[in-house]
Each structure stands twice: as structure tokens, then as C-alpha cells.
Structure 1
């Protein structure tokens, strides 16, 4: 194992507990590993997979996390790929073929992918050596970030066979959550390996102060090296980054509202050391493999201890002296109490939000199962004159019950699906020769259009039929107007996936 570690990562020895976890997995035992943030969880499944023939399927909840890990593995000469929402049907098809025939070692997927029969059918053809469950606390209803789609993971046992070991990893799990993880994943035997959460090199500093901006400047001046300043609001990230620059600090901002390419550029500059301080919301940092972060400073109190421990733990992963600084005052406590109050809306309010959501989406009683729509929380709240934060928590509670799933704000490609039968489509083709060739091209490029919403690439379609992008979009809009297809144009808006039909009050 040490040879693999040195060959790909340049280390000569493992951190505490890593070798024990790796040996457990290689012995074929289902293994739950609880390691602190920065404790090297990824190596605990990457090393075993590299030591065995076949491919590891890694289930992880965040697209940004899987993209970052795939990029890091590729940079080390290890073949890895990911499938996530936002990819076209063609891209997914190619990725699955590569996972079967391309000698890849890691396939990263989001838990929602486990709902699709196509994915499961292709997994059955793969030589799977491990099933990896990252952020495993998401599988437990007692965990702080429970996600219903994680309950689908155990279905993979039926597909890959009972001899393929599961490796579940998390940085945050109580005894109750750990028991729930092992029970839900149907471990053959209880097997929990836990490392100490003590980080001797990381000093935790808590400062009560009214002048937070002055203290942030002092942190940046007193602690040399790379740093992260966490805030809770996008606008605040931009304002504080601008202020730090006026004080001579090399700083920039990062949040989910920044365009995809710009976010990637900012992140790369910071990772390479070309940018010293990143002022960011919690959209930044998950999966960021930068060992030499010397400080993490929180201007706002995080929403939970788990969130704070995870974010603060991004400092000092190289084992050198680092600091986690938390700035607070009484205003923070008032705000946290207010957040707590809106975080638990009454059942009557949640039931009302459920019905209002379907009204907003235009879905009647008894309909909607399998529907996908763009969703904008601010627009939804304005439409019904709701408090957006309270509505957000109600939507999350309904999601936890499995009625719908809401994606991150990502770059979503256009999606289409036929809303008519094959017979009706044939009659439309006969009556409209102008659309006939376009419809044939769509069916040839995307064969699954009759069964589910498929991600499409208008530029690729335009090349195939030798038309302009503008003309392709015009024809898609026209087909949507004729109610021949459901067409969801490309956007950066989150999507809502409706899992069950609308229920009556």
C-alpha cells in the first residue's frame, strides 16, 4: 500500500487510522470510517481501489466535490470520471461505456442517479471492486444533513453482488448516526473505525468584537500564508473582499452566484497561490484539496457546530501550525435565534407550502410524478408573499420526506422529452414535413426521449442538422408550443424533481 501511496501522492507513510481502514476494506469487510475534516478520508477508498482490479463507484452529494476529486485524480495520472446533473444524455452514455470498457478506476455519481434503470443496468456490466459512500451521514435520518436519495444506495448490493464491500466515510457522526448508517447499508457485521478529532496543529480562537472588519484585516496581517474568510451572504463576500483589497490584502470573493467559468478561475488562482485570501460563502471549500491553508476566519457564526468544524478543518491539512478564528458579537446571537425560529415551521405551514409549490409548478392533483421544473426560491416567495427563509426550510422538510428533490444552483443544460405518443408523433411528422427531419434527428441523437427528460446540447444538434443554434432553439420552442415536447431551456437555476403525484389536502 505504501508503494501506491508514494507513487501517486508522494507520501511515504499513512496518517493515523488510514492503514487500518484500508486493510479492513481490502479484507472484504464493510467499513464505516469516521475521520476529521482534513484527516485523509479520500485515500481510505482510493488506495484500496487502486490495489484491486476493477472500478470503485463513489456516491457523493455535491457536484463541486466530485468534479474536484476527479480533477485531482486525473492530475495524478489516475483514470476517473463523474456523472452528474447537467450532463447531456450523450455525455452520460459515453461515461458509462468508459466505466465498463475503459479501464477507469473511479466513477463518481450523485445519489439521484441511482433512481435510473439505465444507470443500474450499466453498473451490472462493470467490474466493481468497492461501493463508496462519501458524506455517509446523509444516509441517516438522525444525521444533520439527511438526504432521502441516499437510502437508494443499498440497492447497489442487488446489482453488483453481495461480495463487493461498502466503504462509508464521514467527518461527522454521533453514535446513533453511525449505528443507523451501518444498519441502513446492511453491513454484514458492525465495523466502525474512528480517528481522534483532535488537531494538535490547529488553534481555535474565538473573539468577541464589534469591529469585525478591523479584526479580519488584523488576522490577514498577523497570519502569513493562504486563508479563507467565511461569510453567510453573497453580497457580504463581495463587499469584504473589496474592503480587504483597499487594506492591501490580496483577496477575491466566491459564491454560488458567480458564473461557472469565473468560479473555476478564482478557485484555481487560490489553489495555485496566485491569490492569497478567498472571501466566500459555504459554496467554497468542499473537496478543495489545498494542504497549506494557514487560517480560516469566520465573520458570521455558521448554522451548526458540524458546519463550523468542517469549514474550520480546511486549515492546516499539511500538519503545520494553523489557526481557525471565529468572530462574534451579540448581533450574531440574535440572528442565530431568529434563524432557529424560522427553521422549524409548523406542520400547517409546511402543508400549505406543499400545495403552493404544485400551484407554482402548474401541476394538478394526481399528476406530477417524474416531473422536472426550474425552481427559483425568491420568485416563489414573492409570488405567494412568503418569507423566503421560512419557505426554504418548509421545502427542505418536504424534500426529506421524499416528495421532491431540489438541486444545487448549477449550470443546467436544456432538457426535452416527448409529451405525445409515438403514433401521435408519426401523424405530426406526416402533416408537417418541415419538422419531420428535425424530429427524426432528435430521435436519432437522443433515443430515450419517449421515456424521460433528456439533457440536450443545442450546439451539437445544430452541427448534426447543419443549422444555426438560433434555428434549433426556435424549432424546440415551436414544438413546445405545439405540446409535442416538454422543453426546459438551459439555465443556472436550481431544478426541482417531483418524485410523487400531487396529493389532495
Structure 2
């Protein structure tokens, strides 16, 4: 209470509505009012016990946004610092969240907190570490990536004793799919190691959303992933009495997907005109960016001028400045309608949103409840609207297919790892590998934004493989850990400036290869870490790297204009003889052309499995090889189509996907150009590539990074050639940190890939089951047009692990 009065100027804590005993079926839905002080006391008591060397418990708290969640760990952190001199470390997923909380504490005259993140300079970081050492700072906000990049936590806190470890937004641990942060999963093993090294401290987790029990038991998964010790649990009340849900179902269902979208857009315009007439601030959620853009185009013809003026948008690919500007317009009321994807979520808290409207579901039940919960944060009443049409789940099912890792991709990752082990067999330690996400890009290349997600998808895939093996066998044959060190960077130095640059800055450069006779120059590695540390300590490394690559004159490095950043590609060809390689490739492409040609002639729709069956007839290979090849060929062709259309006004896409049929079709003869491009591009690589060592099958080439289109298309090509079994490729100089792999049992990995049909990953199966269940639950709510009271009753039951029998019956049918 003293801390609350001193820094918050309050004389009492807020009462929170909580479930009395969620673990006891008899009292499962009975609620009580618990003051924040009770949660705070639990944290302080457990931290004190740990400090005194006695047994202690961890703490798990769910509490809706706006319930004063941060106060419940900030007050204990201040108390533990002032009484015992203990450190509190807070793990948070977003730099903005961390910065806001540190600033919020400073506004309350609390000067013992700080954040270390990628946006601060080395000088600032060193200053914070020094202030931690001198006990001026006792609350440190960091991201999981920042923590995991330090093998020894003493690098951050020196010899300070940790009193409390807080994990904010802990639901991320269980959020499989596009929003999943693999680094949150790695926290469990990291913290377990810390607590084995004579460090004893409780872990307190906080989240606004957690399901207890059932298939989607987020509580159990969080507890087990973070290795929580017999946690004291507080579960916040699920229902929102100030939020009215209004669902309207339409039986109208146009066969053509385009007509369905037009109907949805008309209804949305009608709704928004109504809200705007009452000057109500409205947030509209869309499942994809493409739908937002299509709706913008629709409003140019069918919406009033006032509505068009009040529209603004917010989604991931928008630049930071645009996002911030649009957010500010919406916050200040200059725009009353925000069109957003689920990117408008964590870290955003506006008090006066009246309506939340869903164009279509963006994710699972938790996503839907969180999103509608953005209404009425500080209003007496808010509204959640949804006009349901039967095709609405096409979007979320498509998103699930794009964002979720598939079994086939796990097998491909393991197969690639085995190939890299074989190539690494002469290394001093064959059990250790450093890999770059770019080497696995073709495995995950699907959708317009796929290239931006390769690093996270690879880490997620490796994690799913590891967790599944551990669950089944007690150990994993492959262990993956992300590293903070970025891959070595390569540059071409302009030929006529090379000698002059090396005379002055030679200590930062090392020559690795002669440039091709027509190339910009010879290839060097640059010791950017040394350059940064010796001359640019006033900048953070990401800031320095950005200025370096953008050739910022403020750095005072005149040679930057004479550098061309490149990727090093190392190729190992299946055939020693290049003519034999080319002939085999041409034969394979002819077989693929025959299949595509038949599809184009008949204008028939086909699934990936049907395409795989045709490949099996034409190309030698087992069922798995053909399924894998079919998947990569289709996604590569689709990605090639997107690139060509983006850069050519008159290009006609040949690959078309039908949302309603969930199948592909070949629209024109453009497929022939795609296959010819593979042949031509491969010949160019052979002509430009260098034979660095004595192995005739080893080819090294350097690819300039300044042409993103060329880089993307090269990776498409190499992915296809690797899927055809013609080569293996490695990449050096990519933009993502390397990933460290420890191989515990090569035999076990090989056993899994030798018979892919028999490989079952139970984590993946569980993710599918959750998706089916969530879609069935939302469908049940929408199809039955449940009223507000029934909606919240169903949602409360769902969050307590109670699923209606009719929903369970539907999921059984979906999986069978």
C-alpha cells in the first residue's frame, strides 16, 4: 500500500472479478471480487521465500486489458528493489510496450526502470548496464530475443540477484500460426537453466486471454512450456457486461466468390454510413490486407464522400510512419473509421471505440474475443457487429493454410538438415551446424508476404520438430537455438575505386573471390562489427547497419557509394557433369510442361495432390517426392506470377487459385514462359558461377542484393532445382541471424524422412484440431444468430474448457 500511495497517489487497490476456483468443477463458474493487492501479496510472498532460500511457487494471472495488469507486477518490483535490492526482469514482445511502461513509471517519479532493445545505442546500453550494477536500475524490460541472445545473463545484470521474472503477454507462448513468436517457447528451457544455477526466483505470467481445459488448454500449455512451479493461479472474469454483441445471419450465398465479396462490401458500406451518421468511432477487422485494398476501391464508387474522408487503415506491411500517422488520426478523431488486420492489436489501447465490426473472422475464438474487446474501454457501452454469410470462413481457412506449418514442410526441413550434415562431414564438429533461414526459403514460400516470415517459420518448424520428439522419446535428435550474431556480409567493391578504398579502410575488408569479368568488382567480406565498435558507438548496431546500407552521408564513409552488397550462394550439383545436369533438368521440365499443358487445354481445376499424382506418372520418384515437388512447383509458380505482374503492366498471370473450390487452374500458356525462364536462368548461373575448390560439382556465385526482384526469383529457381533433386544450396550474407543446430541423432532424423507417410507430429495434429474446433465454435455462434446473453454464456464456457456437444460433433466430422 505504501508503494501505491507514494507513486500512484491511490489509497486503495482496485477490485477484480475473478473465478473462485477454476480447478474445482463445483465452483468453476462461481466468481468473487479480489483486490489487486491479493495478487501483489502472492508475488511478493513467493519472491521473499525464494530470496530466503525456501521453496516457492510461480504465479499465473489472466486479467482483461484495462484491469491494471501492469500495476500488479510493478508494485512488487518496486517493493523488492527497495527492501531487498532485488532485480525484476520483465519480458515483453514489443518495443513500444516496453518504452510506454518505462515512461509511465518515470511519469510517476519511479526512476529505477529501463529497457534494453535494438533501438538504443551501445553507449545507452552500457549506461543502463552500469546503472544496474550500481543498483540505480532494478526493473529491466527486455524482449525474449534480447534475453536469449545472452548465454550468460550476467552480461545484462552483472552479479545482481533476480527477485522476480515477469512474462507479459504470455498467451504468445500458445499462439500457433502467423502471430506465433518462437522465442517465447525457448524461454522455458532458458529460465529452467537459470534456476538450476543457484538462482531462485518466481516467474509471474500475465495475459488478457487464456483458455482453461479442453483441446485449447492455454493455461496448461503455458505452464508446461515455461516450466512453472505449482503456479498460484488467478483467472479473470471472461464476460464483458459493457459490450453488446449483435450477430446477423444472411442466407444469401452467391456461388461466385466475386459476387459474395460485393455483397459483403455493400453491407459494410451500409453499416459504416449508419455509424458515421452518429459520429461513432468504429474499428473494422479484415482477415487480409488484400480485402482492405479491395474495399477501398469499392468505396470510391459506392460510398459517400464523407465516409471516404473518414477511412483510414492499419496493417503490417504499411510503413511505420504511415501506421503511426493513421493511428494518430483515428485516435484523435480526425478519422472515425479504421480498417485493420489483426496487426491493430497488442500494444494499442484506445478508450473511445464504440463499434467493432468484423468483415470476416481473422483467426480463432480468442482472436475474436480480444478484437471485439477493443470496444468500450472507457465507455459505458460498446457494440460488436458481424453480418454473417456462409462463405466467411473461406478467409480464415485460407489464412490457416498459409500460416500453419505443414507436416510435409517439417519433413523437408529435416531432409535439408541431413543434406547439410552430409556436406559438413569434413568439419571438426559434425554435430554442430550454423544455418541461414534463406537456405530453407523455398520450403515456406507461399503467399504474397511469405518471404518476410521465413526466419520465424523456420524457427517454429525446428521447434515443433524438437518438442514433438521430446514428447514421444524423451529427447530430440535435433536441437535448435537462435543466435544474435548476424550472418557474415559480402560486398563487391567497384573496380576502379578498389585500391584507394583498401589503402584507407583495408583493415575492415577481406577479399574472398575474384569478381566475374563483367561484374561490378571483386568480392570482399566487411568486418562491420569492428567498424561499428571502433567508430560508431553513438549508434545502435541496427541503426548503424541501416545507415551503412542506405549509404547515409552522416556516417562520413565516402566508400559506401562504391560498395554493392551481395549474397554468396554455394551450390552442390547432383551431377559432376554440367551437360548431364542440364539435360536431366530439361527432361524434367518437359514432363512438367506436358502436365501444365493438359490442364491449360482443358481449363480444369486441380488440387496439389492431383498434380502430385500426375507428376508420379511422368517423373521417377516416390509418392512423397512427388507431393513435395508438386507443392513447391505450385507455390513457386504462384510467387513468380505475383512478381511478374507487379513489375509488368501487361503481364497475364497463368496460375489462378479458386477460393470456393480450393483448387488451382492454368489460365493461359504463360506456364511455358515460366518453365523457359527456369532453363535460361540456370544457364546464366552456370556461366557466372565460380568453381572455388577442386570439386567440379561445387559452384559458388554472388548475387547482388540491390535488385529484390532478381533475388526473389533466384531463390524460386534454386528451390525448384532442390525440390527436383538436382542440387543443394547454401546462402551466406543473408539478413537474418543464424540458427545454431546441435545434432544428437542423425539416424533418428533419417528414420523420420525415409518414410514420411508414417511420420506423425502430434503438436501439428493438435494445432489442426484446435483450428477445426475454433471454426466450428464460431460457426455455431454465427449460424444460430445467438443473442448477446447466449454469446457470452457460450464464450465463458469455451474459455473454461466446456464445448457444446454439437460443436464437438462437427469437429469430429471435419477430421474424419
Alpha-carbon shift at residue 236 of structure 1 (Å): 3.0
SS at 1:435's partner residue?
helix
Aligned CA distance change for structure 1 residues 373 and 238 (closer, same or farther; 3 Å): same
Aligned CA distance change for structure 1 residues 347 and 133 (closer, same or farther; 3 Å): same
Pair 1:315-2:375 in alignment:
yes
Aligned CA distance change for structure 1 residues 299 and 496 (closer, same or farther; 3 Å): farther
Given that 2:434 and 2:739 are in contact with CA atoms closer than 8 Å, whether structure 1 keeps it comes out as yes
Pair 1:50-2:78 in alignment:
yes
SS at 1:268's partner residue?
helix
Output the CA distance in 2 between the equivalents of 1:394 and 1:441. Answer: 27
Given that 1:123 and 1:159 are in contact with CA atoms closer than 8 Å, whether structure 2 keeps it comes out as no
Pair 1:207-2:240 in alignment:
no
Alpha-carbon shift at residue 31 of structure 1 (Å): 1.2
Q: Deviations over 1:285-334 (max 9, x none)?
A: 21223233222221121210011111222222226211122333112133
TM-score by length of 2: 0.48
116-125 or 13-22: which moved more?
A: 116-125
Matches within 5 A, 1:29-40: 30-40=58-68
Alpha-carbon shift at residue 200 of structure 1 (Å): 0.8
Pair 1:150-2:178 in alignment:
no
Given that 2:3 and 2:78 are in contact with CA atoms closer than 8 Å, whether structure 1 keeps it comes out as no
Instruction: Calculate the aligned-residue CA RMSD, in Å.
Output: 5.2
Given that 1:369 and 1:501 are in contact with CA atoms closer than 8 Å, whether structure 2 keeps it comes out as yes
Alpha-carbon shift at residue 479 of structure 1 (Å): 12
Output the CA distance in 2 between the equivalents of 1:217 and 1:375. Answer: 46
Alpha-carbon shift at residue 62 of structure 1 (Å): 3.9
Given that 2:245 and 2:384 are in contact with CA atoms closer than 8 Å, whether structure 1 keeps it comes out as yes
Q: How many residues align?
A: 476
Which residue of the other structure, out of 283, 296, 306, is the alignment partner of 1:228?
283
Which residue of the other structure, out of 434, 439, 447, is the alignment partner of 2:504?
434
Alpha-carbon shift at residue 133 of structure 1 (Å): 1.0
Which residue of the other structure, out of 171, 174, 178, is the alignment partner of 2:219?
178
Which residue of the other structure, out of 323, 339, 355, is the alignment partner of 1:263?
323
Aligned CA distance change for structure 1 residues 272 and 457 (closer, same or farther; 3 Å): same
Q: Deviations over 1:198-254 (max 9, x none)?
A: 211111222335433234414633665433211122243355467378343623111
Which residue of the other structure, out of 27, 39, 58, is the alignment partner of 2:45?
27
Output the CA distance in 1 between the equivalents of 2:351 and 2:2. Answer: 20
Q: Deviations over 1:244-300 (max 9, x none)?
A: 783436231111111123322333343344443322111112122323322222112
**Structure 2 residues not aligned, in runs of 5+:** 17-33, 47-56, 251-262, 467-478, 491-500, 510-526, 535-540, 570-691, 693-699, 709-733, 744-748, 754-816
Match of 2:204 in 1: 167
Output the CA distance in 1 between the equivalents of 2:463 and 2:277. Answer: 44
Aligned CA distance change for structure 1 residues 101 and 166 (closer, same or farther; 3 Å): same
Matches within 5 A, 1:357-368: none
Match of 1:131 in 2: 165
Pair 1:59-2:119 in alignment:
no
Alpha-carbon shift at residue 348 of structure 1 (Å): 3.3
Output the CA distance in 2 between the equivalents of 1:94 and 1:288. Answer: 30
Given that 2:355 and 2:382 are in contact with CA atoms closer than 8 Å, whether structure 1 keeps it comes out as yes
Aligned CA distance change for structure 1 residues 108 and 247 (closer, same or farther; 3 Å): same
Output the CA distance in 2 between the equivalents of 1:140 and 1:27. Answer: 28
Aligned CA distance change for structure 1 residues 231 and 44 (closer, same or farther; 3 Å): same
SS at 2:318's partner residue?
coil
Q: State the structure with more CA Rg.
A: 2
Alpha-carbon shift at residue 347 of structure 1 (Å): 2.7
Match of 2:342 in 1: 282
182-191 or 319-328: which moved more?
A: 182-191
Aligned CA distance change for structure 1 residues 153 and 333 (closer, same or farther; 3 Å): same
Aligned CA distance change for structure 1 residues 501 and 317 (closer, same or farther; 3 Å): same
Aligned CA distance change for structure 1 residues 318 and 56 (closer, same or farther; 3 Å): farther
26-35 or 207-216: which moved more?
A: 207-216
Alpha-carbon shift at residue 83 of structure 1 (Å): 3.3
Aligned CA distance change for structure 1 residues 89 and 20 (closer, same or farther; 3 Å): same
Output the CA distance in 1 between the equivalents of 2:7 and 2:141. Answer: 22
SS at 2:504's partner residue?
helix
472-481 or 45-54: which moved more?
A: 472-481
Output the CA distance in 1 between the equivalents of 2:304 and 2:464. Answer: 42
Output the CA distance in 2 between the equivalents of 1:245 and 1:377. Answer: 44
Q: Deviations over 1:150-207 (max 9, x none)?
A: 3223344356821x33211122132444244345544444311112112111112223
Output the CA distance in 2 between the equivalents of 1:417 and 1:100. Answer: 33
Q: Deviations over 1:100-146 (max 9, x none)?
A: 44733532222223333366122343454421012223446999957
Matches within 5 A, 1:46-445: 46-53=74-81, 54-74=86-106, 76-79=108-111, 80-85=113-118, 92-101=125-134, 103-104=136-137, 106-117=139-150, 120-121=153-154, 122-126=156-160, 128-139=162-173, 145=180, 147=182, 148-151=185-188, 152-158=190-196, 161-162=199-200, 164-170=201-207, 171-175=209-213, 176-209=217-250, 210=263, 211-218=266-273, 220-221=275-276, 224-238=279-293, 240=295, 243=299, 246-248=305-307, 250-318=310-378, 320-339=380-399, 347-352=407-412, 369-372=433-436, 381=445, 395=458, 396-401=460-465, 417=488, 433-436=503-506, 438=508, 443=530, 445=532
Given that 1:373 and 1:497 are in contact with CA atoms closer than 8 Å, whether structure 2 keeps it comes out as yes
**Relative to total residues, which structure has the larger helix share, 1 or 2?**
2
Output the CA distance in 1 between the equivalents of 2:313 and 2:11. Answer: 32
Output the CA distance in 2 between the equivalents of 1:247 and 1:358. Answer: 60
Given that 1:375 and 1:495 are in contact with CA atoms closer than 8 Å, whether structure 2 keeps it comes out as no
Match of 2:778 in 1: none
Given that 2:508 and 2:531 are in contact with CA atoms closer than 8 Å, whether structure 1 keeps it comes out as no
Given that 2:354 and 2:376 are in contact with CA atoms closer than 8 Å, whether structure 1 keeps it comes out as yes
Output the CA distance in 1 between the equivalents of 2:315 and 2:375. Answer: 19
